[in-house]
Amino acid sequence: MDIGASIKKLRIKKSITQHQLAEYLNVSMQTISRWETSVTYPDIVMLPILAKYFHVTVDYLLNSGGNVMKTIESNRLLVREWSESDATDLFELKQKSNNFIDYLNFSIVDDTLDSIKIWKEYQEMYPVILKETGKLIGVVGLVDINRYKGIEN
């Protein structure tokens, strides 16, 4: 994915039009369209403004929306990318949860796999693995609250 596709993906994720983004950046709607179709690219001074607006880093934009994080490792724990094989461990973990919402959201393995796919796409949640057993023991991450409609700060 190139920078134009990243801008388009972020714009759609934020549920705004090309016109709205153009107004915010004080450029024409055609400029946004040309960026998104990779006919032209944003000026370098525009990158920090775009990054701030979309709550991402300039590095994220320049890496074309690619995932910058690979793994974080300690003596006992590993935080890494999701794999589909994590679905069973996550399902079992959430079934043991005292949180009723967790129980409802993860009541079948297919729902758990769907959650993993969403977390992978938006790169906001990662599995925490106990290295000794190789089992998933938790989830860590930061959620962009602005993406969810109907939630008041």
Which tens digit of pLDDT belongs to each residue from 23-76? 999 999 999 999 999 899 998 889 989 989 998 888 778 775 555 556 778 889
Residue scoring higher pLDDT (26 or 89): 26
Which among 11, 15, 17, 7 has a CA at the least distance from the CA of 58? 7
Residue scoring higher pLDDT (115 or 137): 137
Q: 80 has which bridge partners?
A: 71
Could you tell me the domains of the chain?
3-62 (1.10.260.40), 71-147 (3.40.630.30)
Local structure of residue 107 (DSSP, 8 states): S
Q: How far apart are CA 115 and CA 121, in angstroms?
A: 10
Q: Helix, strand, coil shares of the chain as percentages rounded to 5?
A: 50, 15, 35
128: pLDDT strictly greater than 70: yes
Q: Cβ(42)–Cβ(2) under 8 Å?
A: no
Q: How far apart are the first and last CA of the chain?
A: 32
